[in-house]
Amino acid sequence: PCFGFEEQPIAVATSAAAPSPSSGGYSGAEVTGVAPAGQPMSPEEVAEAAYKSLLSTLGPEYSARPELVRTPYRAAKAWREMTQGLRIEDPLEVAGKGIFDVPEARDLVAIRDMPLHSMCEHHLLPFSGIAHVAYIPDGKVLGLSKFPR
């Protein structure tokens, strides 16, 4: 349980059309990853549809507000930015040419007070903090600018 609620599977509902006061807000079909024309949806489109569905739970009087028409797009874009680190297949790719051979480097290296921003995978909420990293280089040193990445 999370915050006293039992975890239960839910169906996500969405509509490909933008809400309008006359349509009564977001509503519609299950998010399946298939666009109305039968074409597969991109991950960006699936995320946007999921945010439309989430807004629909607030009721048609709220989800139909003109100020919210682009909110699913903006929220999906923010989601992609906050989770971009999950799409890194090879961490060494991030380091690039920032790994240096320094045979005499054998002492502890410590980097302190690096800003850290991530997302709680259980609550899907962002959090921030400060990170400290220490390692013994064993002849290889990582450039300081690579650590925050």
Q: What is the mean pLDDT of residues 41-63?
A: 93
pTM: 0.61
pLDDT above 60 for 127: yes
Q: How many CB atoms lie within 10 A of CB 25?
A: 20
Question: Which residue(s) pair with 116 in the sheet?
Answer: 129
- Predicted pLDDT of residue 32: 56
Would you state the structure tokens that stand for residue 22, as one six-digit string? 């006359």
The answer to whether the beta carbons of residues 140 and 105 sit under 8 Å apart is yes
Q: Tell me the CB-side half-sphere exposure of residue 109, using CA atoms within 13 A.
A: 15
pLDDT higher at 134 or 7:
134
Instruction: Taking the CA atoms of 86, 87, 89 and 95 in sequence, report the sign of the dihedral they define.
Output: negative
- Predicted pLDDT of residue 53: 94
pLDDT band at 85; cut points 50, 70, 90 = confident
The answer to whether the beta carbons of residues 35 and 16 sit under 8 Å apart is yes
Determine what percent of the chain is predicted with pLDDT higher than 70: 75
* pLDDT digits 0-9 by tens, 96-123: 888 889 999 889 999 999 998 888 889 9
- Predicted pLDDT of residue 82: 87
